[in-house]
Amino acid sequence: MNLIDGRTDPLLLAPLRMLIHHIRVVGYIPFLLWSLATHTTRTMQTLATYVALRQLPIFCKLMRGIVACGVSRKPRLVRAQTKPYDTNKQYLLCAHPHGILNGGWWNLIARYGLSLVDGLELAMCVAPAVQYYPLYSEIFGDRVTDASRSTIKRLLRGGKLTPCLIPGGFSEATFTGADPKVEYNWIADRSGFVRLAIEAGVDIIPSYSFGLNDMYWTLDWQRYWRAVKAQAWGLPTVVWSGPYGLGNVPFTEEISVVTFDPFPTSQYTVEQTAQAHADYLVYLEKCFESQKAACGYAHNKIEFIGKSVPPRRSKL
Read off the pLDDT of residues 89-119 as tens digits, 9 standing for 90 and up: 999 999 999 999 999 999 999 999 999 999 9
pLDDT over 70 percentage in the chain: 98
Q: Give domain status of residue 4, yes or no.
A: no
What residue numbers bound the domain in which 194 lies?
73-304
Q: Give domain status of residue 28, yes or no.
A: no
Q: Give domain status of residue 60, yes or no.
A: no
**Which residue type occupies 245?**
G
Q: Give domain status of residue 109, yes or no.
A: yes
Q: Give domain status of residue 31, yes or no.
A: no
Q: How far apart are CA 149 and CA 140, in angstroms?
A: 20
Q: Give domain status of residue 250, yes or no.
A: yes
Question: What pLDDT score does 213 carry?
Answer: 96
* Segment 250-306, tens digit of pLDDT: 999 999 999 999 999 999 999 999 999 999 999 999 999 999 999 999 999 999 999
Q: How far apart are CA 19 and CA 41, in angstroms?
A: 25
Q: Give domain status of residue 82, yes or no.
A: yes
Q: Give domain status of residue 64, yes or no.
A: no
> Residue 1: pLDDT above 50?
no
On average, the pLDDT of the chain sits at: 94
Report the domain count for the chain.
1
> Residue 3: pLDDT above 70?
no
Q: How far apart are CA 52 and CA 67, in angstroms?
A: 19
pLDDT, mean of residues 200-221: 97
- Residue by residue, DSSP assigns 260-278 as -PPB-GGGS-GGGHHHHHH
